[in-house]
Amino acid sequence: MDGVNKELQAEKKALRSKILAARRGLSDSYRQKTSQRMTDVFCALPDFKRARTVLCYASMADEVQLRSLVERFLAAGVTVAMPRIIGKGQMEAVTLPDLDSLVEGEYGILTPDPAKGEVIPPEQLDLIIVPGVAFNTKGRRLGMGAGFYDAYMARAVNAKRIALAYSCQLVADVPMEEHDETVHRIITEQGIYNCLL
């Protein structure tokens, strides 16, 4: 690892620690209230109405809570997929027939039961709800560091990428490497950011 890359990794690590601490510091009631507000805002957008095949994720406790968004997608007849880890830095999208079909997967993250879902090729997705630790208003994103989403989004060439994030996750700048992918839109409890890509 050269000096520049080492410095970039250190910057990413420091930012990740800082933002995760801020996100974990939010109260449960704040998370629930603002997650619902962000879901309502998102569901009023054309992005929600146009979606046919979506990759979403099962939220961890300190992330924006997406359960009601997934319920609304399913109720609207949208094909919902969630990630399943298949190797180092590699994941696939597996359909989720209903929320009862979630089982515990890698890293304790809920994932679709492989016996009940089927794999969707990345190019068939038209929307990805993208998790992340930190974002800026130009769509730059910092993830957890394993690279699953960056590698996957590079292959999902037809999908619009939208992040739902708390305003404490927005920062002035996000250190990025060549392989890091961006998002098209960010929804926070304070507003919508259409990113300049």
Q: Is 144 annotated as a binding residue?
A: yes
Has 110 been labeled as part of a binding site?
A: no
The confidence score (pLDDT) of residue 2 equals 65
88 is in an annotated binding site: no
Q: 155 and 35 in contact (C-beta within 8 Å)?
A: no
30 is in an annotated binding site: no
Of 4, 2, 15, the C-alpha closest to 173 is: 15
pLDDT, average across residues 60-70: 96
15 marked as part of a ligand binding site: yes
Question: Does residue 33 have a known ligand-binding role?
Answer: no
DSSP state of 37: H
Q: How many CB atoms lie within 10 A of CB 105?
A: 19
Task: Provide the token pair at 172.
Answer: 């002035």
Helix (H) or strand (E) holding 47: helix 46-50
108-162 residue pLDDT tens: 788 888 888 999 999 999 999 999 999 999 999 999 988 899 999 999 999 999 9
Half-sphere exposure of 108 (CA within 13 A, CB side): 2
139 assigned binding-site residue: no
193 Cα distance to chain centroid? 15
Q: Is the pLDDT of residue 28 over 70?
A: yes
Per CATH, which fold does 3-194 belong to? Rossmann fold (3.40.50)
- Specify the pLDDT at position 197: 53
pLDDT digits (tens, 9 = 90+) for 89-105: 899 999 999 888 888 88
Quick: pLDDT tens for 160-173. Answer: 999 999 999 999 99
Q: Over the stretch 4-15, which tens digit does the pLDDT of each residue have?
A: 688 989 999 999
Locate the domains of the chain by residue range.
3-194
Tell me: is residue 14 an annotated ligand-binding position. yes
- With contact defined as beta carbons under 8 Å apart, do 16 and 142 qualify? yes
Q: Say what percent of the chain tops pLDDT 90.
A: 78
pLDDT-derived band of residue 87, with 50, 70 and 90 as boundaries?
confident
160 marked among binding-site residues = no
pLDDT of residue 88: 87
Q: Is the pLDDT of residue 1 over 60?
A: no
185 is in an annotated binding site: no
